[in-house]
């Protein structure tokens, strides 16, 4: 049980970090490039059709990471 809690906690932190990074990169591409360059930069750097899709993906990863973190905290408290 302890291994699963630690693994879940690690995955939650990874999702939060990667989601935050993806969201930040999406905002950077959205504001740093012009409208014509935005789609090309999003395809090149974010592997998405637009920066908005990357921001959405990042926010979903953040929410899933927080939810998984809460579930691991509950599981950790139940194990004690």
Average of per-residue pLDDT across 20-26: 96
Q: Taking the C-alpha atoms of 12, 13, 16 and 20 in order, what is their torsion angle to the nearest 10 degrees?
A: -160
Give the domain range for residue 38.
1-79
Average pLDDT of the chain, as a whole number: 93
Q: Where does 1-80 show beta strands of DSSP type E?
A: none
- What is the percent of the chain where pLDDT is above 90? 88
Number of domains in the chain: 1
Q: What predicted TM-score, i.e. pTM, was given to this entire model?
A: 0.88
Cα within 13 Å of Cα(9), Cβ side: 11
How large a percentage of the chain has pLDDT more than 70? 100
8 A C-beta contact, residue 51 and residue 57: no
Q: How far apart are the first and last CA of the chain?
A: 11
- CA-based nearest residue to 69, from 26, 23, 7, 19: 7
Instruction: Indicate the range of 9-13, 16-20, 41-45, 59-63 predicted with least confidence.
Output: 41-45
């Amino acid at each position: 049980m302890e291994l699963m809690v630690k693994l879940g906690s690690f995955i939650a932190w990874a999702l939060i970090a990667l989601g935050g990074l993806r969201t930040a990169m999406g905002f950077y591409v959205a504001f740093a490039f012009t409208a014509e360059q935005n789609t090309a930069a999003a395809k090149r750097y974010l592997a998405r059709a637009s920066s908005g899709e990357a921001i959405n993906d990042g926010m979903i990863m953040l929410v899933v990471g927080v939810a998984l973190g809460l579930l691991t905290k509950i599981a950790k408290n139940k194990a004690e």
